[in-house]
Amino acid sequence: MLRPVQSLFRKEDYPDLLAGLESPDDAAVWRLDAQRALVVTTDFFTPVVDDAYDYGAIAAANSLSDIYAMGGEPFLALNIAALPPQLPVEILSEILRGGAEIARQAGVVIAGGHTIQDKEPKYGLVVLGFVSPENFLTKAGLRPGDWLAITKPLGFGVITTALKQQKAAPEDVAEVVGWMKRLNRQASRLAVAHGLRAVTDVTGFSLLGHALEMANASGVAMELEFERIPFVTSARRYAELFTFPGGAHDNRLYFGQWVEFDPPRPEEEQMLLFDPQTSGGLLLGIPPQKLEPFEEVCRQQDQPLWLIGKVVEGKGIRVK
């Protein structure tokens, strides 16, 4: 997004901009003083489900996720909406209500926003949060020997696309919607409290795309174990139907050159790792000495956590 204007904004001219111009991180971070920094992000998208309330709630949870991925605490948001004028007002209201209730659950106030007319609905939030200028999370903190863990299962894209194709069972959609509406707040707070360094959220670039961003930013490689990677209940069944969104094919085309499947896996299994996620979980790098206490506190607080691989020296990603 910044490449066309990189020559206009040089990092050295903005010493208080701690993340945003050069780093591939999830949000911009601006230092306010020695104790506080402002973390800012925005995101919006077209509907991924049919229910208007769920769409609004998922969009809000997804927008808030980038603040959590930086280790921040969101406090203020603005709506961004492009809405068709012919849509019944009841549907428009439900979209905004879904977003507002998720924001309130996160302790965030929505204090206005901006709406335009468009042919297809689009909704999301601008979100502001606070973070420590010394301890915010980045994609670049991985070290060889770190464990890799994820906090939500995969398979959201292949199932929401099956929904659009009228091939998805209601119970499968309900499972995915439940995960997409779940905030990453608790996982983020635990990561900060236990001194983790490297975190990102898994969204449109898929698990492999976002993992590769972390690996490249950290100057390391990753080894992932396919059988450890969690999927929602019906993900493999829809993968066999090949109801993958276009973004999955784009991700494979772009990121696949740096990914090795050894041993080779069926195409549908590979595609599940390139599947774009909406409001996905956090991908965490956990230093080995912190793994046991972090796993224990996650168990105590019912925070889902799956270990899926390790950080190693080198480049790229190997899926075993």
Strands 282-286, 147-150: pairing kind: antiparallel
| pLDDT value for 3 | 57
3 state SS for the chain: CCHHHCCCCCHHHCCCEEECCCCCCCCEEEECCCCCEEEEEEEEECCCCCCHHHHHHHHHHHHHHHHHHCCCEEEEEEEEEEECCCCCHHHHHHHHHHHHHHHHHCCCEEEEEEEEECCCCEEEEEEEEEECCCCCCECCCCCCCCEEEECCCECHHHHHHHHHCCCCCHHHHHHHHHHHCCCCHHHHHHHHHCCCCEEEECCCCHHHHHHHHHHHHHCCEEEECHHHCCECCCHHHHHHHCCCCHHHHHHHHHHHHHEEECCCCCHHHHHHHHCCCCCCCEEEEECHHHHHHHHHHHHHCCCCCEEEEEEECCCCEEEC
Q: Is 3-131's fold the same as 147-319's?
A: no
Which residue positions in the chain have pLDDT lower than 50? none
- Fold of the domain spanning 147-319: Phosphoribosyl-aminoimidazole Synthetase; Chain A, domain 2 (3.90.650)
Domain boundary assignment for the chain:
3-131, 147-319
Predicted confidence (pLDDT) per residue in 21-42, tens digit: 666 677 888 999 989 999 999 9
| pLDDT value for 5 | 59
Mean pLDDT (the chain, rounded): 94
CATH architecture of the domain 3-131 equals 2-Layer Sandwich (3.30)
> How much is the pTM?
0.93
